[in-house]
Amino acid sequence: KNQVEQSPQSLIILEGKNCTLQCNYTVSPFSNLRWYKQDTGRGPVSLTIMTFSENTKSNGRYTATLDADTKQSSLHITASQLSDSASYICVVSDRGSTLGRLYFGRGTQLTVWP
């Protein structure tokens, strides 16, 4: 069964600190993996998208890694800011259908305290 598991479910850190969010998936055949940021009451916004051959991709203070062999990904946030408080969602796409089906994790709820 195609699944995406994220950990931790929630995380509280102090402003300026770094953190790492985890994503494990069983989606096959794998096409790409995306990390989205979703502010409360708003639609998800894409942070990074990584294909099978990419190991690391950065977007400002966000760095995503992908290990396609172990089917694991991480999102590292450096020098956290209050505006980073949001839900971070890992989304994996398969290539077994014309749809490029998306499988969503439940997200990690990050709270940054001053």
Residues that bind another protein (CB under 8 A): 31-32, 34, 36, 41-46, 49, 89, 91, 93, 95, 98-100, 102, 104-107, 109
Q: Which is nearer to another protein, 31 or 63 (CB)?
A: 31
Q: Rounded to the nearest whole angstrom, what is the least distance from the CB of residue 73 to another protein in the complex?
A: 15
Q: Which is nearer to another protein, 34 or 66 (CB)?
A: 34
Q: Which is nearer to another protein, 89 or 110 (CB)?
A: 89
Strands 102-104 and 86-94: antiparallel
99: burial class by Cβ within 10 Å (0-12, 13-18, 19+)?
Answer: exposed
- Joined together, the tokens standing for residue 17 give 């600190």
- Residue 39: how many CB atoms within 10 A of its CB? 12
Q: Rounded to the nearest whole angstrom, what is the least distance from the CB of residue 13 to another protein in the complex?
A: 19
Asked if residues 102 and 91 have their Cβ atoms less than 8 Å apart, the reply is yes
